[in-house]
Structure 1
Amino acid sequence: MLRVLAVDDEMPLLEELLYLLRSDPRIRSAEGASDATGALRRITVALEAGPDGADGIDVVFLDIHMAGLTGLDIARLLAGFARPPLIVFVTAHEGFAVQAFDLKAVDYVLKPVRPERLAEAVRRACAQLGRSGEVPAAPEGVPAAAAPSVPPAVPVPVPVPVPVHAAVPAPPRQAAEVTVAERAPEQIAVELGGVTRFVAIADIAYVEAQGDYARLHTDEGSHLVRIPLSTLEERWAARGFVRIHRRHLVALARIDELRLDAGTTSVRVGSAELQVSRRHARELRDLLMRHATG
């Protein structure tokens, strides 16, 4: 069974994550920390106790965007220890997946967290630690869902002085590393059936808004991501994606035809014909002309 620490600076999300973790029979204990400082204090105690000690931690479920140190910063600090706890990133941002796996993360779970997806992350952690990832069977006559209810209150870590060796900041990054980390990623992570795949942005022909989600259309199929279309419009403007309608974002280079018919404008992108709103029509025509003339 696993001893875990969940770290998130948004208290409602932290409480929900702790509730889900405590509901998993493979979790022996689940503590919470609402900032990087509290997380590092608790992890320091665990590192001093060792993985077999009473205060040990097996897995840290770690948010990425937090005030002060980020989850990636914490993971880099832990990478300097001989036997650090495993890391599972839990975040609303898909763009850091490559960096996360470079830091040897066990898994990368996107918010909002689905119970079955979190259960898969627990299974992977169990497998890496050489423990059974199977959910224990319920006692005879007791339904499997009748696990004891644990209130989702977040335990407050006991303040413990952080040893000097654990407080040493991560070494400064090289210029090349800063450039790679800060430039726009070449891929976007998408989830399907508990598996994270990476789709090249260059392969995306257009994007369709679906509520708080966006559907990415490629020549091979489509993928759903939990990112608003407006966010992708801002991120991918430099990559040649233009807004043509409140529902569609299109790669300018993938437009095959511009059609004008009885005052309406549309574009053909592969086999799809997409309507262009009046407010975007003139700007799109100008962009296509400039694109065609280099």
Structure 2
Amino acid sequence: MLAVICDDLAKDRDILLDFCARYAKNNHLPVAALSFENAGALLQSREARSADVIFMDIYMEGALGVDAARILRGKGFRGALVFTTTSREHYADGFDVEASHYLIKPISWEAFCEAMRRTHDRMGVSARKVRVTAGRNELDVDISGIWYVEVYGHKTVLHTLRGEVAVNQSLSALEERLGGDPFLRCYRYFIVNMDFVKRLNEDCFLMKDGREIPLSRDGRTALKNRYMAYVFGRMEE
């Protein structure tokens, strides 16, 4: 499990780092922790975007934690967000970025454990894995972290939050194992995760990483309808 802490006060970072180590020891869990002193450093870190949970101070010099959280969600971050704050003023903003919890400073050990419990609940929903073969190795890839899958040349490549993975399976075999929504076979050489679509264009999906993925000319209307049905279904949830 990877926990990231972003706070401009060293003493508050140290408290959360100590809590992470204590939580790992008490629960016999591997917990790695990274800390950043401002939102700019956090947003530049590729590793931070693959975190399971980010503890984000709302009031930091230079940028509000809520604004940094919106950018992270826009870049495809799907982990848990826990805001740390001295005020409840920005509680409503947390809904926009799917915040899992708020911790009021000074943070108690009991409150930290509750935040971790909620993080584990979130991970339980989205921690489904798909086993793939990459060269001679077998890997378990977090399905919720797959942006899209493409075939080029003789390679099938998973584009994920943690980078690219070239696998031995065919696109059709992966399509079956991914099991439908949120995954959509939109073209002969592509499967997209609809959770990472930024915008539906006339003839393509614009992904959140800026990649344009074409829609098959045959069945384009059906593909658009399926995507819109998925989006509306998520809104109703």
TM-score normalised according to structure 2 size: 0.48
In proportion to residue count, which structure has more strand? 2
TM-score normalised according to structure 1 size: 0.39
Larger Rg: 1
